[in-house]
């Protein structure tokens, strides 16, 4: 057996400061979280383009720090890595480090214990690009915030790039010192929101492409319709369907996918979405979704649109104006009018009443386990 040659490029102990020499560290980047693998949508356009700009000119844009914020599972960590990866591609000599805030804190606590605080600080001050993920974790951790404040100032003064992620915008952060919050606001805060249906489908397709998986379109669409708010869950559902099918050596059918997703969704708080209702209504009347969302005043389309609004009002927590916006840019008064019309028609038109009952059944049927 041959003995592998030990490559001495990575620093074992990050707190050994090698004088003025440029240090060569493992940037801790996950290559899968590249820009290439990140799907752009309305939900993330600003964050993605700011990230891209920073990656092309680290420390040289006004986006310093760049703070990416948003709810869990929407791609903050992914974009943060993507910046690091792209910077390493563009400027291989730059020292880039990705560190989750909890690890940063634990390292600091260890440094205090071992009396190596200065090494800790020096190490971080040597970065050209420092990416700290989930900075909200430092909430209430005053000592760590204090040391981060000094590192931040040093890096910023030297035009080094700082990238942060957080679950909230700086204005809403609790337990973070004012002087840090005001520094977070120096650069750009960009949010990531829940992806719309098209983006969710594109994300699933991308994931399938990267993993070399093939699935029929109706299954992909079913997953995207059912799981609406969190990309991590979206991917989780895809993976469990595939795992289940391969374990059972069964082909993946829409039936199997539904069972899996229902189980998946049952464990999370399940909410019926406007997207989902629109899909059921469109399928029922055999209308393309674009037509439902268009301004067309054709009678059948108006009726389908009114039904979608009616069910959205009754079965989701969405506001009237959100429902209107989803149904072809209508206002809340139009939604109210639609609900009244549907109620009136149900009393006077037997056939219409039948539609409503059918649709109600379908929405319930497909949305529960
Ligand atoms: P967060 O850090 O906001 O909680 P992550 O960055 O960990 O979320 O994203 C969760 C998962 O969703 C990751 O696997 C990530 O690759 C994926 N993901 C999120 N947004 C996108 C997107 N727009 N395109 C492709 N994948 C995405
Ligand atoms: Mg994250």
CATH number at 260 reads 1.10.8.60
Indicate whether 27 pLDDT > 70. Answer: yes
Residue-level pLDDT at 70: 95
Question: Are 50 and 184 found together in one domain?
Answer: yes
Q: Which helix (H) or strand (E) holds 133?
A: strand 129-133
Q: Is the residue at 220 inside a domain?
A: yes
173 in any annotated domain:
yes
What residues have a C-beta under 5 A from ligand 2, the ion?
A: 76-77
pLDDT at site 228:
85
Atom 6, ligand 1: residue with shortest CA distance:
75
CATH code assigned at 171: 3.40.50.300
Q: Do 124 and 159 share a structural domain?
A: yes
- pLDDT score of 2: 41
> Would you state the pLDDT for residue 6?
43
The answer to whether residue 18 scores a pLDDT higher than 70 is: no
Query: What are the CA-CA distances from residue 258 to residues 156, 220, 248, 249 (Å)?
Result: 50, 11, 16, 17
**Band (47; pLDDT cuts 50, 70, 90):** very high
The verdict on the CB of residue 98 being under 6 Å from ligand 1 is no
pLDDT score, position 21:
59
184 CA to centre of own chain: 21
71: pLDDT strictly greater than 80: yes
Q: Does residue 69 have a pLDDT over 70?
A: yes
Range of the domain at 91: 45-191
72 close to ligand 1 (CB < 6 Angstrom): yes
Whether residue 176 is found in the same domain as residue 53: yes
pLDDT at 15 over 60: no
Residue 316 shares a structural domain with residue 281:
yes
Domain identity same for 185 and 59: yes
Per the domain annotation, does 34 fall within a domain?
no
Is residue 30 in a domain?
A: no
Query: Which among 131, 231, 238 is the best mutation to test ligand 1's pocket, defined by most ligand atoms within 8 Å of the CB?
Result: 231
Number of domains forming the structure of the chain: 3
Q: Which of 248-257, 258-267, 290-299 has the weakest average pLDDT?
A: 258-267
Of 144, 176, 191, which one is at a domain's C-terminal end?
191
**Residues 121, 52 share a domain:** yes
Ligand nearest to the CA of 203: 1
Q: How many H helices and E strands in the chain? A: 16, 5
Quote the pLDDT of residue 11.
47
Q: Confirm if 94 and 87 have CB atoms less than 8 A apart.
A: yes
Residues 226 and 327 occupy one common structural domain: no
Do 143 and 91 fall within a single domain?
yes
Question: Last residue of a domain, which of 209, 233, 264?
Answer: 264
* Nearest bound ligand to the CA of residue 210: 1
- How many angstroms does the Cα of residue 275 sit away from the middle of ligand 2? 26
Check if 200 has its Cβ closer than 6 Å to any atom of ligand 1. no
User: Which DSSP state fits 160?
Assistant: -
Residue 29 placed within a domain: no
pLDDT at 369: 36
Choice among 10-19, 44-53, 348-357 with the minimum mean pLDDT:
10-19
Give the lowest-confidence range in 2-16, 88-102, 298-312.
2-16
Please report whether residue 288 resides in a domain.
Answer: yes
The answer to whether 233 touches 269, Cβ cutoff 8 Å, is no
What digits encode the pLDDT tens for the residues 125-169?
999 999 999 999 999 999 999 999 999 999 999 999 999 999 999
- With a 6 Å cutoff on the Cβ, whether 50 touches ligand 1 is no
Residue 9 has pLDDT above 60, yes or no: no
pTM of the model: 0.72
10 inside domain: no
For the cut 60, the answer to whether the pLDDT of residue 283 exceeds it is: yes
Residue 5 DSSP code: P
Is the preceding omega at residue 65 within 30 degrees of 0, hence cis? yes
* Ligand having the closest approach to the CA of 230: 1
Mean pLDDT score of the chain? 89
77 CB less than 6 Å from ligand 1? yes
Cα dist from 249 to 208, 211, 237, 242, 348, whole Å: 19, 19, 18, 10, 52
Do 123 and 153 share a domain, yes or no?
yes
CA of 257 from ligand 2 middle (Å) equals 27
**90 in a structural domain:** yes
Task: Examine the pLDDT at 234 and tell me if it is beyond 80.
Answer: yes
209 with 332, same domain: the answer is no
Q: Are residues 306 and 259 in the same domain?
A: no
Closest CA relative to residue 75, chosen from 273, 267, 234, 225: 234
> pLDDT of 173-232, one tens digit each?
989 999 999 999 999 999 999 999 999 999 999 999 998 888 899 999 999 988 888 899
**Rounded CA separation 209/213 (Å):** 6
Give the confidence band of 273 by pLDDT, cuts at 50, 70, 90: confident
Q: What CA dihedral angle connects 320, 329, 224 and 135, to 10 degrees?
A: -70
The domain boundary residue, chosen from 219, 246, 264: 264
The verdict on 68 and 183 lying in the same domain is yes
Tell me what the mean pLDDT of segment 9-29 comes to.
Answer: 66
């Amino acid at each position: 057996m041959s003995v592998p040659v030990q490559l001495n490029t990575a620093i074992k102990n990050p707190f050994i400061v090698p004088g003025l020499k440029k240090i060569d560290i493992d940037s801790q980047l996950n290559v899968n979280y590249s820009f290439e693998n990140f799907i752009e949508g309305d939900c993330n356009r600003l964050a993605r383009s700011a990230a891209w700009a920073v990656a092309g000119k680290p420390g040289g844009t006004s986006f310093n720090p760049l703070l990416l914020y948003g709810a869990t599972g929407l791609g903050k960590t992914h974009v943060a890595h993507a910046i690091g990866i792209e910077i390493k591609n563009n400027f291989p000599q730059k020292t880039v480090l990705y560190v989750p805030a909890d690890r940063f804190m634990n390292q600091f606590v260890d440094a205090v214990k071992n009396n190596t605080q200065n090494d800790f600080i020096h190490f971080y001050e040597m970065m050209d690009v420092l990416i700290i993920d989930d900075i909200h974790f430092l909430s209430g951790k005053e000592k760590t915030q204090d040391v981060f404040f000094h590192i931040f100032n040093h890096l910023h003064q030297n035009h080094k790039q700082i990238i942060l992620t957080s679950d909230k915008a700086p204005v809403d952060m609790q337990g973070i010192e004012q002087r840090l919050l005001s520094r977070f606001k120096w650069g750009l805060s960009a949010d990531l929101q829940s992806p719309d249906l098209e983006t969710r489908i594109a994300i699933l397709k991308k994931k399938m492409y990267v993993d070399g998986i093939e699935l029929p379109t109706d299954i992909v669409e079913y997953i995207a319709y059912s799981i609406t708010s969190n990309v991590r869950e979206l991917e989780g559902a895809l993976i469990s369907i595939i795992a289940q099918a391969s374990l059972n050596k069964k082909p993946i059918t829409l039936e199997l996918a539904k069972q899996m997703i229902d189980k998946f969704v049952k464990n999370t708080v399940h909410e019926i979405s406007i997207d989902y209702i629109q899909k059921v209504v469109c399928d029922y009347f055999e209308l393309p979704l674009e037509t439902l969302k268009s301004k067309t005043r054709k009678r059948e389309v108006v009726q389908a649109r009114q039904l979608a609004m009616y069910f959205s009002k009754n079965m989701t927590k969405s506001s009237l104006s959100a429902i209107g916006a989803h149904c072809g840019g209508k206002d809340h008064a139009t939604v109210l009018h639609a609900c009244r019309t549907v109620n009136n028609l149900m009393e006077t038109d037997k056939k219409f009443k039948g539609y409503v009952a059918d649709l109600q059944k379908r929405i319930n049927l497909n949305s529960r386990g």
